[in-house]
Structure 1
């Protein structure tokens, strides 16, 4: 069996539950990407893309005939969205790193107008996508799948823009994502979401600290201090 066949077919048996190694490995790549994002490393984007590609096949269980034949179209679709937005973020961070600033991204607040855009986008995206995912036959409650997809899109876009608030969007995604994934039988992903809940809070605090330090340095330069 070649590595690709092994990766596609390998299973982990815990008690009476069957977990695909693809789900475990894909989520580990996602975790590594999140760690890189917290440290503002450009490699976080390509690492995340690999994880997204693996998880896309996991969340279409009925399509790929996995042991868990449940389709979560929002979860699967967001992997494709992640790949597209990650290419944008990758280019954004590489461009910033190659500039005179010499950092991948400078954390900053989104501002009132962009915050309003994020809130309205979260609500509107969930309302629009819920009937679409339900029509495709996504797992109930479908609104949760739509919420996760929309939040993931906005959070990834916010990360690419360097908005510190993007961490808070991830927390909102995790709160809904854990119970949905448990009820759908995707236990490895649910466990990672649970871990992400604490991790995103730490990431938010780290970016806030970097942001305050940067603001202080800029103020000192302006005052000649």
Structure 2
């Protein structure tokens, strides 16, 4: 138990500032998951879940005996949502028409789906802002709510294979970076800067790999034929 407690409390010190290893490792797992997602690898989901568990303990520090950090309820809550949605995405990516197909075909969302994403983002932020305020989340609470909703919708869009999910992550990063730095979560704030550049790259990669919905079955059939007898590295 002493070893577990030591690992839980381990920090990296930079002068007067310190960062928990849990925060650093959680973000590195998240980055690895994003890289796997861009390459459409199934292992992106379990790696992401491991990072979510670590970051949940970071952003809800008071529940784990850490009084030195502020609580970001949206950041903590979204880790739980990530785990649930990631389990769905993991299942969806591994239970295709044929069990040997381990990639998903990128495609544009329909206009109706895009409107649903926008309404969900704005409406969800408006609903959650007073909730997070009442629960004592770090101000400005609308930023935390925006990050929560954007993360949920982006993860869902990734599971669906929508190219637009990368742009939702960009919107999350734009708001998330200043919020995290102001709250003292420097490792996560810096990682969000990296995510911002990465998500733009991911958008163009998926856009170039997209196919029309009518040709998705053909593409998956070709992918299966080319890998038959040897699974992908995921």
Q: TM-score, normalised by structure 2?
A: 0.88
Q: Aligned partners of 1:203 and 1:68: how far apart in 2?
A: 36
> Do structure 1's residue 9 and structure 2's residue 14 form an aligned pair?
no
Total equivalences in the alignment = 216
Distance in structure 1 (CA, Å) of the matches to 2:3 and 2:30: 20
Answer whether contact 1:68 1:185 (CA < 8 A) is retained: no
Q: Work out the CA distance in 2 between the residues paired with 1:96 and 1:191.
A: 36
Q: Measure how far apart 1:98 and its partner are.
A: 3.4
Query: Structure 2 CA distance, aligned partners of 1:60 and 1:180?
Result: 16
Distance 1:26 1:121, change over 3 A: same
Confirm or deny: 8 A CA contact 1:85 1:156 kept in the other structure.
yes
Partner of 2:40: 40
- Match in the other structure for 1:59: 59
Question: Which segment drifts farther, 168-177 or 1-10?
Answer: 1-10
Which runs of no fewer than 5 residues in structure 1 stay unpaired? none
Question: Which deviations, in whole Å up to 9, do the C-alpha atoms of 1:20-64 show, x marking residues without a partner?
Answer: 000000100001000000000000000000000000000012222
Matched, 1:196 2:195: yes
- Residues of 1 paired with 2:97 and 2:6: CA distance? 38
Q: Any conservation in 2 of the 1:45–1:89 contact (CA below 8 Å)?
A: yes
Q: How much has 1:89 moved relative to structure 2?
A: 0.2
Answer yes or no: is the 8 Å Cα contact 1:82–1:156 preserved in 2.
yes
Tell me if 1:209 matches 2:200. Answer: no
Q: Secondary structure at the match of 1:62?
A: helix
Greater than 3 Å deviation, 4+ residue runs: 97-100
* Bigger mean CA deviation after superposition, 59-68 or 143-152: 59-68
CA deviation map 1:171-218 (0-9, x unaligned): 00000000000000000000000000000000001101111xx45x94
Q: Gaps (5+ residues) in structure 2?
A: 219-234
1:75-224 pair list within 5 angstroms: 75-96=75-96, 98-99=98-99, 102-211=101-210, 214-215=211-212, 218=215
**Relative CO higher for 1 or 2, CA cutoff 8 Å, sep ≥ 6?**
2
In the superposition, the TM-score normalised over structure 1's length comes to 0.91
Matched-pair contact (CA < 8 Å) for 1:97–1:103? no
2:42–2:102 contact (8 Å) kept in structure 1? no
Shift of 1:7: 2.4
Q: Is the 8 A contact 2:121 2:146 kept in 1?
A: yes
Report SS of the residue matched to 2:95.
Answer: helix
After superposition, the CA RMSD in angstroms is: 1.9
